[in-house]
Amino acid sequence: MTDPAWPHTPVLLPEAIDAMVTEPGGLYVDGTFGRGGHARALLARLSPQARLVAFDKDPQAVAAAEALRAGDARLTIVHASFAHMRERLAELGIQRVHGVLLDLGVSSPQIDDPSRGFSFRFDAPLDMRMDTTRGETAADFLARADERHIAEVIRDYGEERFAVSIAKTLVARRALGRAVRTTAELSEVVARAVKTREPGQDPATRTFQALRIFINAELEDLEQGLKAAMELLVPGSRMAVISFHSLEDRIVKRFITRESRSEPDRRAPFAPPAPTRLRALARIKPGEGELRANPRARSAVLRVAERTDEAPAP
């Protein structure tokens, strides 16, 4: 159930469902339940014999999924990252699936809930964890990491050219006994350290993105999740991945491209090349109507790939 206080509009909803559902009576995975927009649309498309297993790291998302599950026995919810979908599905006795959907990044309810600490629009504790039951907060990381590590995180995950200046300012403030603990404090530090910024973009945008991605191991989870999804898919079934920034989309694009090639084994040059495992089907951007209705969709990209060969036994 979507919380009316923080509504969530699923991005590229019909496009993702149309691309993914090839077997209405099959078994599907929603790797990022969020507030259930894509899951509801999937269940509406699937037959009574189908099954949907949803994953999410966020306890609030899991609670929303439990509410939906109470009215639809086809749904199973797992409190875990989609990076672990293969082993968690094995625990449920599932070895193969007919489709995997990954809607990456942070959801609107997470951004719009001040207590989560994802946004510089509200003053709140600097948390940023998707799974609030475990792990280190962004504030804790900034309180213990050295200048070099902070700069690397902001540069690599935020593509921020002023990363070193921001890290120096954060560490200098910490040395005075004033370590950053809130979103407003971090936003203020970044605003002083960043000399120029693109028109219309808050100076803190890239730093907040970087810390969120790092704290939640989003790119590492994505690499693992893509591999797990490919290995789970039966031949002819599909994965659909919605990304929201270039770092994510680059990983998805490279993975699909790599697995779409037939590479010879260099250790056995006369052996036949290994068969390709994926076939790229589509790259889809939101249309003008969706962008008018939901400006947050402007950076979204949906990539669809189909499993081509027989999936190996686990």
Q: Which two tokens stand for residue 275?
A: 């068969």
What mean pLDDT is predicted for residues 5-10?
Answer: 58
pLDDT confidence bin for 264, thresholds 50/70/90: low
Instruction: Output the average pLDDT for the chain.
Output: 91
Token couple for 90 = 């094995």
* Residue 229: Cβ-neighbour burial (10 angstroms; 0-12, 13-18, 19+): buried
pLDDT at 184: 96
| Dihedral angle sign, alpha carbons of residues 240, 242, 247, 253 | positive
Question: How many whole angstroms from its chain centre is CA 97?
Answer: 20
C-alpha angle 119-212-152 in degrees, rounded to nearest 5: 125
Q: Residue 196 has what pLDDT?
A: 75
Per-residue pLDDT tens for 267-285? Answer: 666 666 667 899 999 999 9
The pLDDT of residue 300 is above 90? yes
Could you tell me the pTM of the whole model?
0.90
In 122-175, which ranges are continuous DSSP H helix?
138-144, 147-158, 163-175
pLDDT score for 265: 58
Q: What domains lie within the chain, and their CATH numbers?
A: 13-109+218-307 (3.40.50.150), 132-215 (1.10.150.170)
Q: Give residue-wise pLDDT tens across range 44-53.
A: 999 999 999 9
